[in-house]
Chain A
């Protein structure tokens, strides 16, 4: 039944207005996709691309994304005038665009390309204004190609509004506008956490996941190397999309078959390592909970979140679980167990990960994830890259006979599979912890309370009198909100799961590109289905995991070897490279150089006043002509600020008295 008081006319039909925020959403509901580059339902409305123009009777031409639907409106979406204006807009973008579509990583998946085709654009009537600019390949996770950018600002808003970071922004104006990291630096030198949300929302090829396919081909084709591969949970419910499958279809059997056909020697499941993460992390949690350790405990599986915390939440680093992510647990375990089993040296054993994630590429190249000079994980490929590798090998994916994983690392429980969806880690930990605390096997393994779509969720449990308060978050901006509430004492939790991507890893930037929530939901549902189809659901039931611990891990779960191979430490990380600010300069080469940290943490702890006192001291004692003072941004010791560096000596929690004492000592040394 149509309520005429709440309808508008769209072309020649009546459309009911519900709670849509703008005409674009109303049109979509009515089955009309108005073209747009800059509109995303999750981001603020920007109205920059001018493609969603529609005609509203009595108002003329307006942008559909920023026009509220009103009852009685008469809207036309494809009049001659609108068609012409959209064409002009696309042509103008093309005039200022690197048109080498065949050489672009977004070829066949680019919105500009498909709109140009849909509008039948076969010539660009405007003068070409394109100037080639250097491509930023500094990041281990992402490639930034300004030659492809159409300035829609989607990446800028995603980074700022969803992740709360703002690693990239607009610079310049008019014809010289561009999207760049601060001061035009490289992406690797700023606070980017490599989550790749910018690449997910980029409609063109300006931001894309870094491609490491060639390097992996090279290893696979090297007869001297044994190449083993691990597949993350979220990959199995998304790769099928590359070959026309429905999102969420569990394609694990065909993926294993495809990886063998490509030439990988052994095919394993990251879910095995996720089971390992569950027992380690739950053991850590139970210990913290029962023995008065630091709470809340934050999960540490998401490398984008870990980098974010290292940069922005220095005071909460002790709250991060010391557990490595499943990927980084798998690597050292494989390199410990497999050389003997496969008859290969550690150096010639290559571990490749297939991940839904761009930040995993960054994670695996952190020097702390090396054992005796050998990387724990050598290469990370995204779901997208695996799809391309299968295509390059000419493998007809849909015709493959499903195959089985290799053992022992192909065995897993459902707990290790649901890791790929938001709330999954929490649920897997609960399955382990509740059974452990109660000392029984659980009849019902599902904890649906922690599942869901909301970006901040809470759940409380009472396990035989032990109360546990949980929080599940996705999106780093939301993680920041939760962290702030904890800092202010407004909220108290025991365990907090943080994932950077929408709905967790299933919405990762390495997955086939989508911004459609339904697709992400289907993928998450696929993981829960996969869990149901497995016989075991709690990590402690993984007997091959138990056997691995017994044979290779001295001290078992949480023991000596586990700590060496499966746990890690975190360090404060500076957000921006290469800036320090001269505050007071000596004449000629200084006899002594002092650096005072004025990064956020030290700033809050009063480093500015300290800096001023130091300068005054130097002036009062007539030392300013031989001593130079710099204000630096972060010495990566945020928890011990304010930090001051006098000569080579670092002073933590510095006071003016401490600093003066060291200045005197150092100057005395110089004189002698």
Chain B
């Protein structure tokens, strides 16, 4: 734990350095910091504001304006389910319900208590031909069904509980394909 927090802090300083402490680069700075922390903690934003000589309210304004930024911690695995028009008519709602049921989440609760999964609904990922679309940890899964979604979750759970390695999992996936 000691190492991770201090490494993260060193990373924040590095990010600020790379961006020359330039207030005009606030957005890229916040993006890079969020990659490390998986969200934007208040203290880190205050630190960034001080370093860039900006009012903290300004940093807060930018962080809350863009949907990309989050101020609450997200899970280790992020599921973005598309609920744009095309995906919606092809039944994305059923997938969402299945995920919610499986992970004990709701439209008000996006992240599991063990911080493993976050489920988000987005409005159009720009892949309507593949509807319904679900993005799991930056990998796009097309023509999803509730069953396939649950399978993907189960596979991650297996890896996380130490049952199989992710490499083995990938092999299995390839075999199926």
Binding site for B on A (CB under 8 A): 160, 165-173, 180-184, 190-191, 575-576, 579-587, 598-600, 603, 608, 611-612, 615, 618-619, 624-625, 629, 631, 633
Contacts and interface: CB of A to CB of B under 8 A. Distances in A.
A183 B56 contact: yes
A165 B43 contact: no
Given A587-B2, A624-B6, 9 more contacts: A166-B54, A166-B58, A169-B60, A182-B49, A581-B46, A585-B1, A598-B50, A612-B10, A633-B47
Contacts of B6: 583-584, 615, 619, 624, 629
Contacts of A165: 55
B41 A172 contact: no
Contacts of B50: 598-600, 603, 633
B105 to A, nearest CB: 21
B58 to A, nearest CB: 6
Interface in B32-53: 41-47, 49-51, 53
Contact of B57 (A169, A612, A619): A169
Contacts of B5: 582-585
Nearest to A172: B64
A171 B64 contact: yes
Interface residues of B, number: 30
A579 B42 contact: yes
B9 A583 contact: yes
Given A171-B64, A599-B50, A619-B3, A581 B57 contact: no
A611 B57 CA distance: 25
B64 to A, nearest CB: 4
Contacts of A167: 55, 57
B13 interface: yes
Contacts of A172: 64-65
B61 interface: yes
A183 B60 contact: yes
Chain B interface SS verdict (over half): helix
A171 B10 contact: no
Nearest to B63: A171
A607 to B, nearest CB: 10
8 contacts: A160-B55, A180-B57, A579-B42, A580-B43, A581-B47, A582-B5, A619-B3, A624-B3
Contacts of A615: 6, 9-10
B59 interface: yes
SS class, residues of chain A in contact with chain B? mixed
Interface in B51-80: 51, 53-61, 64-66
Contact of B2 (A575, A576, A581, A584): A584
A173 B49 CA distance: 20
Nearest to A632: B43
A55 to B, nearest CB: 32
Nearest to B42: A183
B3 to A, nearest CB: 7
Interface in B82-103: none
A587 B55 contact: no
Nearest to B67: A173
Contacts of A582: 5, 43
Interface in B104-136: none
A585 B6 CA distance: 8
A581 B9 contact: yes
Nearest to B41: A581
Contacts of B41: 581
A585 B1 CA distance: 6
B93 to A, nearest CB: 23
B60 to A, nearest CB: 5
A600 B47 CA distance: 9
Q: Please name the 4 residue pairs, one residue from A and one from B, whose CB atoms are nearest each other, closest first.
A: A166-B55, A169-B57, A581-B43, A182-B56
Contacts of B10: 612, 615
Contacts of B46: 182-183, 576, 579, 581, 633
A612 B47 contact: no
B60 A612 contact: no
Given A599-B50, A603-B51, A624-B6, A182 B43 contact: no
Nearest to A614: B6
A181 B49 CA distance: 14
Q: Which of A181, A608, A633 counts the most B-chain CB atoms under 10 A from its CB?
A: A608
